[in-house]
Each structure stands twice: as structure tokens, then as C-alpha cells.
Amino acid sequence: MAKVSICIPTYNNLEAFKRCLDSVLVQKYSDYEIVITDDSSNDEIEKYLNEQNILKDIFYFKNQITLGSPENWNEAIRRSKGEYIKILHHDDWFTNENSLEIFVQLLDKNPISTIAFVTSKNVNSENNTIINYNCPSLEKIEEIKNNPITLLNGNFIGAPSATIFRKNNFSNFDSNTIWYVDIDFYIQILLRSNHLAFSEIDAISIGASPTQITKNVVDNKTVNIVEYFYLLHKWGIKKIIESPIEHTTLSQLRRFGIKNSQDIKKLGFKDSLPKDLNKLFRKIFIINLKEKLKLIKRETIFFKKNDE
């Protein structure tokens, strides 16, 4: 049995898959299996694998029905047999031939860590230029360890492809989420054991393109607000005021113009809301009022000067 299962959930985009698979096949660390679960609407990936005759240690599964994201990710992990799970989305790739070894050593050298991650870089898939790097400070990592919920303030771990975790600590990616799916996954693991290992070595490249699911939901009010409060309910967060996520919650509500609890319910949220949410809405009202008064004051001064 291989030590590491490299799980590649795929959906169409053969060219991106080729780049991903090629980056695996050149790895110097060799104690791995590749598990591919194919959610594609065509058979291009299956045909490619058969034509290349590279099915050794590659286990390919064509989903009988479309599972969608993130259930296709879960399926790949369920099909795996390795001790370590290295999920690798089909539009991401290992940065160099030593990348997998870097991931494996993070767990080997930190036996109490259930999950580890590396520095990742976001790459524009259309012109192959680097957008940015995700490399959090040690202070930020300690903050995440002390209170995993602070990941809501920013996903400093990065995309799932930037992580490796032990299969015996596997929690399903929550199929009720799209935008916050990775954050929820990390928090589920870290709430049980907060021993988070990290390497500053750039070992993974994240392909960014306009067709990504997350790009389509980043400004979707319903997805953002309903998922946000669904997760607060799931994690048992009952108070927001003076918590580490107060500012983030306030910003989310202001960004999408949510003025009261009924606005959240109208979007389809059915669970209970944090007890002090109405206090937060009053804060938002006061902030908005102050901003309007400042605007009126600036406009008054402007017109007064023009009249002189």
C-alpha cells in the first residue's frame, strides 16, 4: 500500500489535467498512488490516460452521476488507500520535482500534526504569470492554532492543493458549502487538533482562471451570507460582538447590504442566528449614519465654496 494518495478530482479541462498529472509523474518521492475521480461531461481524460498507457499506480474512476464540487473531492479521498492524503485539484500542479517530498516530510517530522501546508503561489492560467504568494507569518499561524475560527478573517492556509493531511483524521468537505468549503474543512480538523505544520518553501502552484467555481460565487449575496451564517451555526458561534470575527461579520453584512435578521432569512437561511446579531446591526446603522453625515458635510462645504 502506498504511503501517500494523490487525489485528483477532475472536471473537463484536459489541458489543465495534463499539466497537473505531468507534475506528479516527475516527483522524486515515489511512494504514492494516484486516485482520479472524473466528473467530466466527456470522456477526454479517460481516453488520454488509456492512450498514454500510464495507468500503473493510477486508479481512475468515472463517476456514474455528476457529483459536483466538493462531493467529487470526497469521492477521490474515499477511493484512496494511503496513510496521507495529498489532494491536488486538476488545475493546480506541483511546483518542482521535490514538492511531494516536502509535503510528506511535514507530516513525517511532525507526528502530532494532522494537517500541514506549504507556501503556494496563485498563477494566472491564461498567461502563466504569478498573481501572488500565500505565505502567512508565524504570528498568523499561531493565531490560527489558538483559534481556528479566525480563518474566517482570511484563508491564510490557502487552497486544498496547498495541504496534506492524515486520512484517519479526514472530515468530509461539506457539500452544503461552495465559497467557504476549504475554510470549513480546515476548521473541522483544527478544532479537534490544532497542531498545524507549515513550510515556507513554494511547493505548489494554484491555477487561477475566470471559469473557476469560486470566481462565479465571490459576489453572490445568497451564497456568501447563507454559507457564512450556516457555518457560524455549525460551529456553535453564538456571540459576535467582541469576538475575533466581529469585524469580518460586520464587513460581510455591510458589503451585501444586509440590514436586519429578516434579510438573512429571506435569502433562505433557516437556522438560529447569533444572539447578539441585532446589536451588530445597530452598530452598522450608526456607522452608515456617520458616513452619510460626513458625506453631507463634505458636499455642503464644496457647494458653499463654489457659491462664494
Residue-wise pLDDT tens digits, 20-36: 999 999 999 999 999 99
pLDDT at 303: 60
Find out whether 225 and 267 touch, Cβ atoms under 8 Å: yes
> 164 has which bridge partners?
116
Q: Average per-residue pLDDT in the chain?
A: 92
pLDDT at 307: 58
The residue with greater pLDDT, 212 or 142, is 142
Q: Is residue 302 over pLDDT 70?
A: no
Task: Please count the other Cβ atoms lying within 10 Å of the Cβ belonging to residue 288.
Answer: 12
CB-based burial label for 218 (10 Å; 0-12, 13-18, 19+) = exposed
Lowest mean pLDDT among 82-86, 209-213, 234-238, 289-293: 209-213
pLDDT at 294: 79
Q: Average of pLDDT values for 143-172?
A: 94
Which of the four pLDDT bands, split at 50, 70 and 90, describes residue 298? confident
Which of the four pLDDT bands, split at 50, 70 and 90, describes residue 112? very high
Percent of the chain with pLDDT over 70: 94
Q: Average of pLDDT values for 163-184?
A: 92
Lowest mean pLDDT among 136-150, 195-209, 266-280, 286-300: 286-300
pLDDT at 291: 85
- Please provide the DSSP assignment of the chain as one string: --SEEEEEEE-S-HHHHHHHHHHHHT-S---EEEEEEE--SSSHHHHHHHHHT--TTEEEEE-SS---TTHHHHHHHHH---SEEEE--TTEEESSTTHHHHHHHHHHS-TT-SEEEEEEEEEETTTTEEEEEE---HHHHHHHHH-GGGGGG--SS-SGGGEEEEGGG-----TT-SSSHHHHHHHHHHHH---EEEEEEEEEEEEE-TTSHHHHHTT-HHHHHHHHHHHHHHTT----TTSTTHHHHHHHHHHTT--SHHHHHHTT--SPPPTTHHHHHHHHHHHHHHHHHHHHHHHHHHHHHHH-
Q: Is residue 19 over pLDDT 70?
A: yes
Q: Is residue 55 over pLDDT 70?
A: no
pTM here?
A: 0.91
Find out whether 27 and 99 touch, Cβ atoms under 8 Å: yes
Per-residue pLDDT tens digits for 71-80: 999 999 999 9
pLDDT at 304: 62
